[in-house]
């Protein structure tokens, strides 16, 4: 069987480890033995907090440079031994930022081909979140938030000072790690596993995604669109029902829009879950109805018949006056979903969105016709469970409200029976008192 080293390349907090995990899981799904060899983990186990200091990464500090090279060599040794044994693909996860370091790798690993994968991430919002996440790892436990941030930014600066993009390596590809897009690739035909790895990198994986709509709002009751309404009592109960449904389900990330109805629906789910990451994203805000915001559908039909006619003619492309169309929504939702999936990686995501937003999110996985997107069914009492990996696509629509109500109804039925029985006893007792006197004694 052919064997391969995959060597990750990229500045810190650019998504290398996320991609390394995806490559590894994807290959395993295909039945190949793949394993990650992470320099950072080895560094922490050997040098501990000494290696957290920014100076450890100073390229002009000879002693530290040597220590870092030794970690890399040791990890390569482990990868080599594993490939010599049972492994198929060893993924070396480290910055490998300079040409000098990559020369060292090419000299040390001559037994199998090497595929370099460079991760680029120009999305500053995601970079900042990744940096925040890195600086809150146990490695920085002895630092204040500011110190950790300063130290990590200095680390990035050192790596930037020696960074050289891939160019002379034999087999390589550059990938936008947040957009699942190959930016450049070089002479890959001879590289084993290339097709499988390429496929893994361009697929949008969503291994565990739950997609719910917010609960009923005051506007829903009145038939009004858009706005920032609050949930009704029924909507709040729906939110409680959703939380009860997920009570025993692992949820790692909850993404909402910036609207109150989305936050209110998320609140019960987040209660007593301090470790869940949350992010409110404008990309998931409901379709902007422009001049029609807050209006009722009937009102639009009467006052602005051209809007209703335009939507009836082509609901996907029609944009509300000074507002959005589904076609416009497509772009921002795609960006939001990419960000959410990048941040969550393999972990479980719950998105609490809106009718039009959820239609577009679903369409991104379903490859349905554009004209059908504005008509996808998005109920407020069911959610979609989505699992998309290179090997499988699973969509399920799961009710959560009915079960919750039924449980409530069952209690109502029990209470009803109990009170009927109680009144029956009272009546019987009263009758016997009337007939026979107290305790049947004359």
Site for ligand F6P in 279-338 (CB under 6 A): 286-287, 289
d(CA 284, CA 340): 10
Q: Which of 215, 226, 268, 353 binds ligand F6P (CB under 6 A)?
A: 226
Cα 27–32–36 angle (5° rounding)?
65
Instruction: Tell me how far, at minimum, the Cβ of 281 lies from ligand F6P, in Å.
Output: 16
Q: Is 353 exposed, middle or buried (0-12, 13-18, 19+ CB in 10 A)?
A: buried
| Binding to ligand F6P in span 54-93, by CB under 6 A | none
Closest contact distance (angstroms) between CB of 213 and ligand F6P is 8
Question: Strand runs (DSSP E) across 152-252, as ranges?
Answer: 171-176, 181-186, 206-213
Complex with ligand F6P: residue 171 or 219, whichever CB lies closer: 219
Q: Which of 102, 174, 259, 354 binds ligand F6P (CB under 6 A)?
A: 354
Binding ligand F6P by CB under 6 A: which of 51, 355, 363, 380?
Answer: 355
365-384 residues near ligand F6P, rule: CB under 6 A: 374
First to last CA, the chain: 101
Is 341 a binding residue for ligand F6P by CB under 6 A? The answer is no
Options 22-30, 45-53, 351-359, 434-442: segment touching ligand F6P (CB under 6 A): 351-359
Question: Candidates 90-98, 179-187, 275-283, 348-356 — which segment interacts with ligand F6P by CB under 6 A?
Answer: 348-356
Shortest gap between Cβ of 284 and ligand F6P (angstroms)?
A: 12
Strand partners of residue 176: 120, 181
> Burial of 367 by CB count in 10 Å (0-12 exposed, 13-18 middle, 19+ buried)?
exposed
Please report how close the Cβ of residue 379 comes to ligand F6P at its closest, in angstroms: 12
Distance CA 21, CA 26 (A): 8
Q: Is 123 left (phi over 0), alpha (psi -120 to 50) or beta?
A: beta
Q: Give alpha helix (H) positions in 275-400.
A: 297-303, 305-313, 326-344, 355-366
Nearer to ligand F6P, 92 or 351 (CB): 351
Q: In terms of CB distance, is 174 or 359 closer to ligand F6P?
A: 359
Give the count of residues interacting with ligand F6P (CB under 6 A).
9
Does the protein bind ligand F6P through residue 361 (CB under 6 A)? no
Residue 42 CA: distances (Å) to CA of 33, 37, 76, 309:
21, 9, 11, 64
d(CA 11, CA 95): 6
CB of 375 to ligand F6P, least distance (A): 8
Among the listed ranges 65-73, 353-361, 391-399, 433-441, the one in contact with ligand F6P (CB under 6 A) is 353-361
Q: Of 21-29, 52-60, 188-196, 349-357, which segment contacts ligand F6P by CB under 6 A?
A: 349-357
Tokens of 102: 């990559």
CA distance 433 to 16: 84
**Which residue, 268 or 374, is less far from ligand F6P as judged by CB?**
374
Q: Which is closer to ligand F6P, CB of 118 or CB of 285?
A: 285
3-state secondary structure of 335: helix
Q: Residue 318 or 401: which CB sits closer to ligand F6P? A: 318
The least CB distance from residue 326 to ligand F6P, in Å, is: 7
Give the H/E segment covering residue 222. helix 218-222
Q: Is 240 in the site for ligand F6P (CB under 6 A)?
A: no
Task: Identify which of residues 222 and 396 has a Cβ nearer to ligand F6P in the complex.
Answer: 222
Closest CA to 283 of 324, 319, 247: 324
Q: 337 and 284 in contact (C-beta within 8 Å)?
A: no
Least distance (Å) between residue 299 CB and ligand F6P: 13
212 is a site residue for ligand F6P (CB under 6 A): no
Pull the structure tokens for residue 211: 């997609």
Interface residue with ligand F6P, options 11, 197, 329, 356 (CB under 6 A): 356
Segment interacting with ligand F6P (CB under 6 A) among 244-252, 352-360, 384-392, 423-431: 352-360
Please name which of 279, 304, 276 lies closest in space to residue 291, comparing C-alpha atoms. 304
When the beta carbons of 96 and 358 are compared against ligand F6P, the nearer one is: 358
Q: What is the DSSP string of 48-87?
A: GGGGTSGGGG-TT-HHHHHHHHHHHHHHHHHHHHHHHTT-
Residue 362 touches ligand F6P, criterion: CB under 6 A? no
Q: What is the contact surface with ligand F6P in residues (CB under 6 A)?
A: 225-226, 286-287, 289, 354-356, 374
């Amino acid at each position: 069987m052919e064997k391969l080293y995959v060597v990750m390349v990229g500045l810190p907090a650019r998504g290398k480890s996320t991609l390394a995990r995806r490559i590894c899981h994807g290959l395993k799904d295909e039945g190949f033995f793949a394993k990650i060899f992470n320099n950072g983990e080895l560094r922490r186990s050997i040098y501990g907090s000494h290696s957290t200091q920014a100076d450890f990464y100073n390229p002009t500090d000879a002693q530290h440079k040597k220590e870092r090279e030794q970690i890399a060599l040791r990890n390569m040794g482990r990868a080599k031994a594993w490939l010599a044994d049972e492994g198929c693909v060893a993924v070396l996860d480290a910055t490998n930022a300079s040409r000098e370091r990559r020369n060292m790798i090419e000299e040390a690993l001559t037994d199998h081909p090497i595929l370099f994968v460079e991760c680029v991430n120009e999305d500053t919002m995601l970079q900042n979140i990744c940096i925040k996440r890195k600086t809150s790892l146990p490695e920085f436990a002895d630092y204040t938030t500011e110190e950790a941030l300063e130290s990590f930014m200095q680390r990035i600066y050192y790596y930037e000072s020696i960074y050289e993009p891939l160019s002379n390596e034999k087999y390589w590809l550059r990938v936008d790690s947040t957009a699942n897009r190959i930016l450049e690739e070089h002479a890959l035909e001879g590289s084993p596993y290339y097709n499988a790895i390429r496929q893994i990198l361009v697929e949008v994986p969503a291994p565990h995604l739950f997609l719910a709509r917010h609960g009923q709002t005051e506007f829903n009751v009145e038939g009004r669109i858009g706005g920032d309404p609050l949930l009704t009592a029924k909507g709040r109960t729906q939110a409680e029902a959703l939380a009860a449904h997920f009570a025993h389900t692992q949820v790692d990330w909850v993404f909402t829009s910036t609207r109150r109805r989305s936050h209110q629906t998320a609140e019960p789910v987040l209660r007593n879950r301090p470790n869940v990451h949350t992010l409110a994203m404008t990309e998931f805000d409901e379709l902007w109805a422009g001049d029609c915001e807050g209006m009722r559908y009937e009102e639009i039909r009467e006052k602005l018949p051209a809007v209703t006619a335009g939507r009836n003619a082509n609901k996907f492309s029609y944009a509300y006056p000074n507002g959005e169309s589904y076609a416009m929504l497509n772009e921002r939702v795609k960006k939001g979903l990419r960000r959410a999936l990048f941040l969550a990686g393999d972990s479980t995501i719950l998105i609490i969105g809106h009718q039009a937003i959820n239609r577009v999110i679903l369409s991104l996985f379903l490859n349905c016709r554009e004209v059908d997107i504005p008509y996808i069914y998005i109920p407020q009492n069911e959610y979609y469970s989505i699992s998309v990996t290179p090997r499988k696509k699973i969509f399920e629509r799961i009710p959560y409200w009915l079960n919750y109500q039924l449980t409530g109804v069952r209690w109502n039925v029990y209470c009803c029976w109990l009170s009927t029985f109680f009144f029956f006893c009272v009546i019987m007792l009263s009758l016997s008192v009337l007939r026979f006197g107290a305790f049947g004694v004359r």
